[in-house]
Structure 1
Amino acid sequence: MITIKDVARHAGVSIATVSRVLNAYPHVRPPVRERVQAAISELGYAPNRLAASFRTQQSRVVGVFLRQQRTPFSSALAYAIESAMFEEGYRALLCSTNGDPDREETYVDSMLELRAEGVVIRPTGSAARTARNVARLKEAGIAVVFADMKPKMNHVSAVICDNYSGGYEGMRHLIGLGHRKIGIIAGRQAQTSGGYGVGNVGSERMRGITQAAKDLAADVELVFSGAFDEATLEVGAAEADALLTRRPDVTALFGTTDILAIGAMQTAHRRGIAIPQDLSILGYDGIMESGITFPTLSTVRQPIHEMGTLAARTLLHHIRTTGTAAQQIVLENAVLVRDSTGFVRR
């Protein structure tokens, strides 16, 4: 195995000089830097970053715990975090917890073994388990920031969107178009919250939806889909089909994610229902795919890239400045009106 000593001997410099070149220190004369880089290339030297992290206490590695990597929302959020960290010289390890506390705990073990410097967490459904995992990370000196959703842990920084106001403004849009019988396609967690909100994304959106229905018009009727655990295109299509069969008088559907709303659009096309002439459909998230549907999907747009970038920058702040106070950053959503919503037909 080629060592740093071999590189130093081949280049005719000290080990300390090779180390400065490897760590991009600025005060190395260009001819010396070029000679060291040539030696590294000729010998095929690859530095042991993990061993170096034990010596310097700087692994330049962070973890990113998201529920899933395969959803467009999670992919966009992960990309924003990874890009911001990469620009600062850090490498992000993307971990899918699937909302499973056991998987989250396993990834925490990995972060401890790898001596990660920080972790961005989209929490699982178990606030108690997440609290224990966060405590283990912080005890090891690993910075933690929540993204997209936060448990009631004000001592941990969080970057989230205001899902309550997003649900409220989405309903304001539909009610303003004259819709009074509105179907809501929402998952089990959102529906079992009873519109009171329990801190998770779905329940906060539902809280905004139900409050707007009470506040903005006296005759609004909300018609709910069946409960489900995973928001997929297939689920959105099936739930829209069942809801429209049960209540054909519904004039608008509000999917609590864009994926659900796009599934509902597929059902409407299959049934020969004109969008938005006969049925308005509204989504939530503002993922890239919402702009390429036919018709284009109106949606409650979240600033996903900004949320990921701010989460990364907040994590970097805690890594570089230990002992700083937690920050609670809440971003606003906005209704992006496209072609899938229109005035109710009289």
Structure 2
Amino acid sequence: MLDNLTTEARNPASEQLDGLTPAEFVRLCNAEDAKVADAVAREADAIASAIEVIADRLQRGGRLIYFGAGTSGRLGVLDASECPPTFNSDPNQVIGIIAGGPPALLKAVEGAEDSLTLAGDDLEAVGLGPLDVAVGIATSGRTPYVLHGIQYAKRHGAYTIGLACNEGAELADLADLSITPLVGPEIVSGSTRLKAGTATKLVLNMLSTGAMVQLGKTYGNLMVDLQPTNSKLTARAKRIVSLATGMPASEAEQQLAVCEGEVKTAIIVWQADVSPEKARDYLAKANGHLGRALSLLGAENAPT
């Protein structure tokens, strides 16, 4: 019942919403949004556990698969789509599925979220299997599409995570792990694209980024596995090589050219004075972790 959902309740702070000036409206929004980070922080242990599982499954060849309806589905698709350019991940490693398919990204598809079979069909279409992690996203915690998707995923051996924003969510009872940031009533009753949507985005940021960091996609806080596919990312790659090595930007550009645009390779070539081929060999030995590859090279070249 919607009456039992906190996200559907009336927010006392916004009962006079339509009488506020723009400045008052902005202050109210900001005050309510400020509560979101605390709600997510209370789920820190669950989020950390999820990152460990996701990183382990990805390392072993599994995938991270988000699925949801409406705003929840759109946010999953958004997070998945940003992984390849940010982390040079395989486009099939993190997948976002929205009820109703691609048309639902722009316009609601009637009845998709209430389907009792569509999620299973969608997960079957991407070949969900036992190494995968399936993250069902449903602010209410009761969306039929997501509930049945979690059940399908469990039957096929995938690890399941439920992300909701309401206490006592059905989704939490079904999933192997539950993440439930309780953001409270929205300033527009039931408009979960607001605080609940923000909380969802924050959690998804942590899940994908945390897992990718565990997989060695950063060096310190530098984005060393990005794809320089446009002018902005090309400039960023050059800057990262320069920051990591201390070389001038012009030399960093030349180093990247020699290393076919591979940031990690360029850094190792400079730091360890080896060929690009040897740099790639050591990256492979270190499972893609730049810091570990440099340590291996350092140990190999240490005086005995």
Alignment TM-score, normalising by the size of structure 2: 0.39
Higher fraction of helix: 2
Greater Rg by CA: 1
Q: Tell which has more relative contact order, 1 or 2 (C-alpha 8 A, sep 6+).
A: 2
* More strand, by proportion: 1
